Amino acid sequence: MERLRRPFDRTGVAEVSDAFWALRDINLAVRRGEAFGIVGPNGSGKTTLLKLLAGISLATRGTVSVRGRVGSLIELGAGFHPELTGRENIFLNGAILGMARQGIRRRLDEIVAFAEVGEFLDVPLKRYSSGMVVRLGFAVAAHVGAEVLLMDEVLSVGDARFQQRCLGRLRQLRQEGVTTVLVSHNLPTVGLFCERAAWLQRGEVMACGPAGEVIEAYQRDASRMEVSAAGARDGEVLIVEDVRLLNSAGEEAWSVRYQDDLQIRLTFRCRERLFRPAFTLTVRGTEGRLFQASMLLDGRRPETLAGRGVLECIFRRVPLAPGSYHIVGSAKEADGVAYVLPPRVVGHFTVEDDLAAYGWVAERAEAFLPEVAPVIVDYAWQIREPVGDPE
């Protein structure tokens, strides 16, 4: 089956210099059976691109060609009616996604089992919790027999257990040869799930290629933009001009693996001479501070600091689980209370690893990573008998 959107040109649209283009000069091709990721900041055109592929929106100019039945998870539960029951909404939503009634009937039990709404199947949707609606929406969209699946942040909704089940279903679809296009701010998921990726910025393609390389380029740019914005603040004595993340070989890399060394190189400039300054670098995850290094604790503070300089800090064998992390920098002078560099995010990096090479890690991480702190520490349980006398 081939669906081709014909070239479209709104000749009435005036060419003005201040016109805003959500997307422009986009030229991308996704191969049959490929998992393709799209990353970029908010407002970069990611969702707009998916809507063009799904036929929800029409391009002002250009051609969009899609071969195969398309399933869209751009907005989970879109098209559901609150007054209809769960069963009725499955048939309604399946029809919207292009599935014949007979096909929906064949897959009904599978959809209901995945969504875990069996006992509420004939209850009006308005009685469902938001989580139940999300589960039902994903279950329908992921079982319509699509050959091309478009997904927009579907792994950032629902509870941790549901997100894990979604990822498992997507892996299964990929093994079945379904072409998948995933938009997500969860960079580790894109890196692990997708073979190739594109980075969009202000409606243009900044990079396209192997997912890991594209994610690194995107994070490098995001970190430098963060540093540039921080350095532009007036009245601060110490300015961070550049932050780089290096791997064990001393090469710049904005992603690491579980138990890799994490080397941070920070270039700074002092507007005036500082007396016994102390730097602190902190690594933060989504749940807050994970670990840090401080000159106050190891006595390596310089007596004075002036002009430009480079600071390097190495965290050895960092036990971070796959995820996105922030680097926060700060500095104080002597034993003063005031910061010469107030705490702020100066960089971003990801840990990308399937953990399959680490034995026990693979099994435990698969089950618990979405629900626990992102630091993996080896452990073993032991219980000795007897543990006590019965009362």
For 48-103, give the DSSP string: HHHHHHHTSS--SSS-EEEES-EEEESSTTTT--TTSBHHHHHHHHHHHTT--HHH
Phi, psi dihedral angles at 219 (to 5 degrees):
-70, -40
In-domain check, residue 260: yes
Q: Fill in the amino acid letter for 381.
A: W
Give the pLDDT score at 160.
Answer: 60
Shared domain check, 204 and 96: yes
pLDDT in tens, 186-232: 787 788 788 899 999 989 999 999 988 898 888 878 777 666 665 55
CATH code for the domain in which residue 277 is found: 2.70.50.60
Sheet containing 304-315, strands listed edge to edge, beginning at the edge strand earlier in sequence: 238-246, 262-275, 304-315
Give the pLDDT score at 86.
Answer: 92
Q: pLDDT under 70 in the chain at which residues?
A: 1-18, 75-78, 154-161, 225-235, 286-287, 335-336, 353-374, 377-391
In-domain check, residue 383: no
Give the pLDDT score at 339.
Answer: 85
Number of domains comprising the chain? 2
In-domain check, residue 228: no
Shared domain check, 250 and 146: no
Give the pLDDT score at 231.
Answer: 54
CATH code for the domain in which residue 90 is found: 3.40.50.300
**Alpha-helix residue ranges (DSSP H) falling in the chain:** 46-54, 86-96, 101-115, 130-141, 160-175, 187-193, 211-231, 295-298, 360-368
Residue 174's nearest CA partner among 211, 198, 149, 191 is 149
In-domain check, residue 100: yes
Q: Which two tokens stand for residue 346?
A: 């100066």
Shared domain check, 286 and 169: no
Shared domain check, 179 and 239: no
Shared domain check, 157 and 205: yes
| Residue range of the domain that includes 337 | 233-354+365-371
In-domain check, residue 386: no
In-domain check, residue 122: yes
Q: Do residues 277 and 301 touch, judged by C-beta distance below 8 A?
A: yes
Shared domain check, 153 and 45: yes
In-domain check, residue 144: yes
Q: Do residues 293 and 387 touch, judged by C-beta distance below 8 A?
A: no
Shared domain check, 203 and 244: no
